[in-house]
Amino acid sequence: MKLLLVDDHRIVREGLKMILDSSPRYTVIDEASDGDELVTKALALKPDLIVSDLKMPGASVIDSCKMLKEQLPDIKLLILTAYDESEDVFRALESNIDGYIMKDTVPEQILHTMDMVMMGYSCFQSKLQRKKKDENDIAFTEREQEIFQLIVENLSNQEIAGQLYISEATVKTHVSSILRKTGQPNRSQAVLYALKKGFVKVPR
């Protein structure tokens, strides 16, 4: 799989290439050192996966990634950063970025996350502090909470039914209830809402 590495620190890029040397699945086809190069090289080279720092000189990485997703829908985007601020994580979610992990992650976990992203999973690692619920928070049943967490983990209704040993129709009923309680039009918006409110855990 063709990989574009993006970081404004050369030593970080060199470190990532050393990690990638242990995996025959990825070939680094080029590197970029700022947000502008990220866009230019991604559009020209059309890599399978971009692993990018978050805050660099040039164009906004999150805004650029959102644009790239629109123009290259098959591309996968993984943010590797030292920043674990909730607003950055939520903006990444809203921009359809596929993964968000920290630079202090062990090499094996970085490779595992890359593999999961390439298989179509959303992988967000975060130490976000969750706010305590107050009296006005939405109340989910235990089953709804269980199903909601599986939705966040990218399971389909059929997969949820199989895992919980219930019918797909029952899952759909609970999903409809979740959408109604959150006031969201679809699963994706409900997930964003729930992550912001701390109703569910960010997948590791």
What is the tens place of the pLDDT at every residue in 58-117? 888 888 888 998 899 899 999 988 876 667 777 777 778 888 888 888 888 889 889 989
Comparison of pLDDT for 142 and 131, the residue scoring more: 142
Alpha-carbon distance 144 to 158, whole Å? 16
For tokens 């990444």, what's the residue? 92
Going by pLDDT thresholds of 50, 70 and 90, the confidence category of residue 204 is: low
Q: Which of 116-125, 126-135, 169-178 has the lowest mean pLDDT?
A: 126-135
Cα angle 23-121-147, degrees, rounded to a multiple of 5: 145
- Largest CA-CA distance found in the chain, in angstroms, rounded: 53
Mean pLDDT value across residues 142-146: 89
Q: Which amino acid is at 67?
A: M
In this prediction, residues 176-191 reach a mean pLDDT of: 82
What are the phi and psi torsion angles at 177 (to 5°)?
A: -65, -40
Q: 121 pLDDT exceeds 60?
A: yes
Residue 77 phi/psi, 5° resolution?
A: -130, 120
Q: What is the pLDDT averaged over residues 187-197?
A: 78
The pLDDT value recorded for residue 135 is 34
pLDDT of residue 133 exceeding 70: no
Q: Is residue 194 predicted with pLDDT exceeding 80? A: no
Rounded CA separation 97/139 (Å)? 29
Mean pLDDT of 41-52: 95
29-56 per-residue burial string, b: 16 or more CB within 10 A, e: under 16? eebbbbbebbbebbeeeebebbbbbbeb
| Phi and psi angles of residue 2, each rounded to the nearest 5 degrees, phi first | -80, 130
3-state secondary structure of 140: coil
Q: Provide the pLDDT confidence category of residue 49 given band limits of 50, 70 and 90.
A: very high
The residue type found at 53 is D
CA–CA distances in Å: residue 200 to residues 17, 141, 165, 191 = 34, 13, 21, 8
Whether the Cβ atoms of residue 17 and residue 5 lie closer than 8 Å to each other: yes
